[in-house]
Structure 1
Amino acid sequence: MDIFDMFFGGPFGGGGGGGRSRDRRGKNVIHQLSVSLEELYKGAVRKLVLQKNVICDKCEGRGGKKGAVEVCNNCHGKGIEVHIQQLRPGMVQQIQSVCRECQGQGERIPAKDRCKNCGGRKVTRDRKVLEVHVDKGRCDGEKIVFSREGDQEPGLEPGDIIIVLDEKEHPTYKRSGNDLILRMELELVEALCGFKKTIKTLDDRELVISTIPGEVIKHGDIKYVENEGMPQYKNPFEKGRLLIQFFVTFPTKIPIDKIPGLESCLPPAQEALIPDLAEEVILQDLDPKAEARSQRERAHGPAYEEDEDGFGMGSGPGRVQCATQ
């Protein structure tokens, strides 16, 4: 379908004939359907209720009595009006617009002969319920097409209803293709001494994972479980991987009397060679918020202030302005 026909679909598309009859096919109707990651994992059937135009069954799409349809006297059946506008002496401009009398149909029906059911519009509104089958492994942004289920119009083939899947954000899992990504927090003792944990899958199963005795998990390490990711579309028994990234939480303080015991369990620290003239300094904690505020003040001057939303605002007329030449 031509892109202009798709978006505008009015009386100016196509090549021959007059009015809307030049289009052979109605416009497609696009609906966005919000789906959860669980539904994409397990599959689901969703019901979508919508309103659509259907051919009037009383007048069979004529809009009135048989033989009552007349050619529009204003546009002479073309569906468009042509106006000539003079721009300046010797130069004119031709402007086309939809006919006001027939709304681009190229025809009119006298009021006394119009169908009582549709009011001469040839179509009526109808309630349609679609069953949308979301198969396992479908992806965000994919389209499910219901052919010829769009609005009906006399002389036109109905367009399609296109369902676009919109994946909702999941609180636990992220999706990357057929892989699932899980963030797992570990205490330092678990990272050093081992752990056994359970993971709840998107189909409500419980998986047990554990480390090998003596294995150390480093902050940021990534491990995976084969065949526990998303099912492949149209091949649901094949699945991607479940990727697990570990984030180790370190204690803020260690009792001084426990340090020798820790040192005995850990590899020895490399002793630094300190020159005689080296100067000893003190490490201090850095407050990220205070540091960011200080950097903004240095960049914008002391008149720079921060409003409640965190946006920098000048302090008024006293703010220093750059000189212009």
Structure 2
Amino acid sequence: MADNKLYEALNVSRTASDTEIRRNYRKLAKEYHPDKNPAAGDKFKEISFAYEVLTDPQKREIYDRYGLKGLQEGDNNFAGAEDLFGHFFGGGGPFGGLFGGFGGGGLRHAQRRGPRRGENTVHRLKVSLEDLYNGKVSKLQLSKNTICTACGGEGGPAGALQPCRTCSGRGVKVTITQLGPGMVQQMQSRCQDCDGEGEVINERDRCQVCMGRKVTPQTKLLEVHVDKGMKDEQRITFRGEGDQMPGVEPGDVIIVLQVRRTVRVC
């Protein structure tokens, strides 16, 4: 029987086009995004994983032919899938138990990888020794990218996005250099034409709000609670408050406390 778990996670059929998959992902990502639905973190990771597989032509082909087991065995990036799902989904959700009989013991050394995740943003907050002793609440204004609400993170109208011809939709360019007889060097770099997205959109079709960037800048005010007894260089983490990008789980905003140094003049 065909493995349809990833398609079911995105509410699409096995014959769904890239456009349908992306459209459904955007819709589900809005519904289950941790910013709007903090209790749906696992669901957001599941749909992000499904989106990552089904929008990659090579991974989708492997999945369609061999299922999740084929991804596990045929791609090192998925070789630690048993541990990955056990860690992220706790054995529950639509993927729970899928890897129970695949010989997990031999996979402990494999590379682990979850859904794509954005980088963390680090900010330093200057405080006094008195602030650390008594505690205080500071308000910090941050700028971050959020998914464009006008186009739903598509960059333009449905169907406007096309696979990048330069990298064939992979987002990376592979250069092979002949070093000598029987010796070649393979280099991989981000595709400059699509900025690593694997997709391009004509200028005339670009969303007029985000200009095809899929995200728009937003200012957000964070309340940083400095508790009594905190220390210099202690970190306060705001989960999922980093920059947003379609298909990417937002990173964290990390506030690092830094004690103001007083200079005495004799």
TM-score range, shorter chain: 0.5 to 0.7
State the SS of the aligned residue for 2:204. Answer: helix
Aligned mates of 2:152, 2:172 — CA distance in 1: 26
Pairing 1:161–2:256 present? no
Aligned mates of 2:169, 2:143 — CA distance in 1: 30
Q: Give the counterpart letter for 2:162 in structure 1.
A: E
Aligned mates of 1:68, 1:18 — CA distance in 2: 18
Map 1:108-187; keep pairs closer than 5 Å: 108-170=200-262
User: Which residue of structure 2 lines up, in the alignment, with residue 47 of structure 1?
Assistant: 139
Aligned-residue offset at 1:18 = 4.3
- Deviation track 1:115-151 (CA, whole Å, cap 9, x = no partner) reads 1111111001111111111111111111111111110
Find 2:171's aligned residue among 79, 83, 86: 79
Aligned mates of 1:169, 1:37 — CA distance in 2: 9
Find 1:24's aligned residue among 105, 116, 119: 116
Aligned sequence identity (%):
54
Gaps of 5+ in 2: 1-51, 58-113
Aligned-residue offset at 1:168 = 2.1
State the SS of the aligned residue for 2:130. Answer: helix
Aligned mates of 1:90, 1:156 — CA distance in 2: 40
Q: Give the counterpart letter for 1:51 in structure 2.
A: S
Q: Which has the larger helix fraction?
A: 2
Aligned mates of 1:68, 1:35 — CA distance in 2: 49
Going from structure 1 to structure 2, the CA distance change for 1:23 and 1:76 (only over 3 Å counts) comes to farther
Q: Give the counterpart letter for 2:240 in structure 1.
A: R
Q: Which has the larger strand fraction?
A: 1
State the SS of the aligned residue for 1:103. Answer: coil
Contact in 1 for aligned 2:242/2:250 (Cα 8 Å): yes
State the SS of the aligned residue for 2:165. Answer: coil
Contact in 2 for aligned 1:18/1:106 (Cα 8 Å): no
Contact in 1 for aligned 2:115/2:249 (Cα 8 Å): no
User: Which residue of structure 1 lines up, in the alignment, with residue 41 of structure 2?
Assistant: none
Aligned mates of 2:183, 2:142 — CA distance in 1: 50
Aligned-residue offset at 1:165 = 0.7
Contact in 2 for aligned 1:29/1:150 (Cα 8 Å): yes
State the SS of the aligned residue for 2:241. Answer: coil
Find 1:104's aligned residue among 189, 192, 196: 196
Contact in 2 for aligned 1:18/1:79 (Cα 8 Å): no
- Deviation track 1:5-49 (CA, whole Å, cap 9, x = no partner) reads xxxxxxxxxx96649xx8432211111111100111111111111
Aligned-residue offset at 1:88 = 2.5
TM-score (norm 2): 0.55
Q: Give the counterpart letter for 1:123 in structure 2.
A: V
Pairs aligned (count):
156
State the SS of the aligned residue for 1:61. Answer: coil
Structure 1 runs (4+) greater than 4 angstroms displaced: 15-19
Pairing 1:63–2:163 present? no
State the SS of the aligned residue for 1:40. Answer: helix
State the SS of the aligned residue for 1:76. Answer: coil
- Deviation track 1:156-208 (CA, whole Å, cap 9, x = no partner) reads 22111010111223569xxxxxxxxxxxxxxxxxxxxxxxxxxxxxxxxxxxx
Contact in 1 for aligned 2:144/2:219 (Cα 8 Å): yes
Aligned-residue offset at 1:86 = 1.6
Aligned-residue offset at 1:90 = 3.1
